[in-house]
Amino acid sequence: MSRGRVVAYSSSPLLASPTPVWRSKFIVAGIALAFVGLAGRAAWIQVFGNEFYRKQGEVRFARTLELPANRGRIFDRNGLLLATSVPVPSVWAIPEDVERDKAKLASLAKLLEISVTDLMKKLDVEDKNFVWLKRQVDESISRQITALDIKGIYLRKEYRRQYPEGEAAAHVVGFTNVEDQGQEGVELAFNKDLGGHAGSRRVIKDRLGRIVEDVGEQMPPVDGKDLQLSIDSKVQFFAYQQLKSAVVENKAKAGSVVVLDANTGEVLALANYPSYSPANRQNLTGAQLRNRALTDTFEPGSTMKPFVVSLALEKGLVKPTSMIQTAPGRITISGSTISDSHAHGDLTVTEVIQKSSNVGTVRMAMQLQPREMWELYTQVGLGQRPQVPFPGVVSGRLRAYKTWRPIEQATMSYGYGLSTSLFQLARAYTVFARDGELAPVTMLKTDTLAPGVRVFRAETAQEMRKMLHLVTLNGGTAPKAQTMGYSVGGKTGTAHKQEGRGYAEHKYRGVFVGVAPIDKPRIVVAVMIDEPSAGKYFGGDVAAPVFSATVQQSLRILGVQPDMNVKPQIVVKAVEESF
């Protein structure tokens, strides 16, 4: 094996030749310029152009996290929960970080109950840093999503409202949307107090969504205030069940019931049917959502007669025993004829109320001035929006008395030509329950006896209560309103429904409004059944039974002792009321 030739580098002509000084200087100058450029770039980024790069860094990695406030709870008057918030997970993503594994994304879409196409549309958005995939999912779903371990998919804690009383109290409590903002009922009316204020936390996140640093001062959330309503959930539930049964039994379109505490003006129950479940609001209709007791108006019919008769008593025009000629069962005013359902002949003022005579009421009304009737109706709250903080509350219709023609004054005396909500009507009847004082109403619990507005003398209201009591006895229009153990009094009303410019021939609203116990009233109950179509439509037949059952249960719940020792004697056939 031959040995390779050894090169003597020290003797190489190339290495032995001297290096030009300019080349060494050029290399050193190049390196120096590179350092100057790097230093200038660093100065630009850190000093002169810092604001731009800081903003770009924040866009990519800084996040402001909302710290949600706990929404206030809603209680009934006895401390039972009507609405509360529970923590639930929501699913969100950083679109640019999402792992595009087809199998995993298909499983995720199935858990989110959307198609893969819809999932991809959610991920292909302009904002590559955040997108909601689904709000407020069940815990079991969140665990399965976590188990998929998809990069870029995360869970965040939010709050969802729960409503233990369900459809029974739906129109009172209302509901919130996915952002925890009130949409209906008390949730909307008191949204500012219940909602509180969300806090915030500024953080830096890495590309995996992990928080690596807090930036700035953290603002803690301010939780919403709890709210205690005047509603008694037991009274509310029972009233709703009775109303629902009556609507179904009478094949009616809808119905409402209002229960007021005559002493304090508190709303103990406010129920409507059809209703809905606040926790499941899919495919809801306007008919289900409407709080009919507050938003729907109707002509109250004969339920207005006690006010006109009371005014005639107050003015000294008649006494309870005064005779009123109603024969031959009709009266003509300005060319229009007003009739009773039955010809009664001579009736006392008391019997005019007991038998609901249109003719007798009109004869008394025409002795009054239109201004006097208008002032009375206005005093008891008709034509005015009730002072309760509920969305959609209506004022009804009561025209100025200067425009009344004689026939209009006559029809208004028995409840045609004006309109009112059931809530307004219930409140108006507090003048009879409180010895002539109109009670203020409230949806919030109160322990004080609120002063009322004087409308009648106490003697007038007490005389009217005696007449209203006779309405529920043999010979009256509402024996089905009698209540086991308690004396009651009230007035029926049956009115044709308006349709276009006239009245529908076979569409009615049956109403009953009353007080109990009769000597010392504790509650006022108003019931309205809309379009009963099972053969019965008089208020004494369709609304009075709901009144009876609601009164009995409500007074027991409130601890009111029975004032009667005998069972009610309900006759087979009641006297039909005049419209």
**234 phi, psi to nearest 5 deg:** -70, -45
Is 10 part of the annotated catalytic residue set? no
Q: What is the largest CA-CA distance in the chain?
A: 154
Q: How far is residue 446's CA from residue 334's CA, in Å, rounded to a whole number?
A: 50
- From residue 72, alpha-carbon distances to 174, 225, 275, 410 in Å are 14, 5, 24, 51
Interatomic CA distance for residues 440 and 515, integer angstroms: 16
Report in angstroms the alpha-carbon separations of 438 from 159, 177, 452, 453, 457: 42, 37, 5, 5, 12
Set 256, 302, 356, 419: catalytic member: 302
Three-state secondary structure readout of 74-107 = EECCCCCEEEEEEEEEEEEECHHHCCCCHHHHHH
Q: What is the C-alpha to C-alpha distance for residues 510 and 493, in angstroms, rounded to an integer?
A: 6
Instruction: For residue 573, give the nearest of 470, 480, 484 by alpha carbon.
Output: 480
If residue 433 lies in a helix (H) or strand (E), which one and from where to where?
helix 430-433
All residues at 6 or more sequence positions from 73 whose CB lies less than 8 Å from its CB, including other chains: 81, 83, 84, 85, 226, 227
Look-up of token digits 């004087």: 454
SS percent in the chain: helix, strand, coil, step 5 = 35, 25, 40
Gap between the Cα atoms of 529 and 512, Å rounded: 9
DSSP H helices, 265-399, are 286-289, 292-295, 305-314, 349-354, 358-365, 370-379
Closest CA to 302 of 354, 344, 356: 356
Taking alpha carbons only, the member of 295, 283, 304 closest to residue 256 is 295
Tokens of 249: 């039994």
Distances (CA, A) of 527 to 383, 404, 455: 20, 29, 24
Rounded Cα gap, residues 287 and 360, in angstroms: 38
DSSP one-letter string for 194-250: HH-B-EEEEEEE-TTS-EEEE-S--B--BPPPPEEBS--HHHHHHHHHHHHHHHHHT
56: DSSP letter: H
Phi, psi at residue 522, to the nearest 5°? Answer: -110, -35
Query: Of 391, 431, 73, 396, nearest to 225 (Cα)?
Result: 73
Q: Are 483 and 546 in contact (CB under 8 A)?
A: no
Q: How many CB atoms lie within 10 A of CB 203?
A: 17
- Distance, in Å, from the CA atom of 92 to the CA atom of 489, rounded to the nearest integer, reads 60
In the structure encoding, which two tokens stand for residue 53, read together?
């790069």
**End-to-end Cα distance, the chain:** 135
Catalytic residues: 302
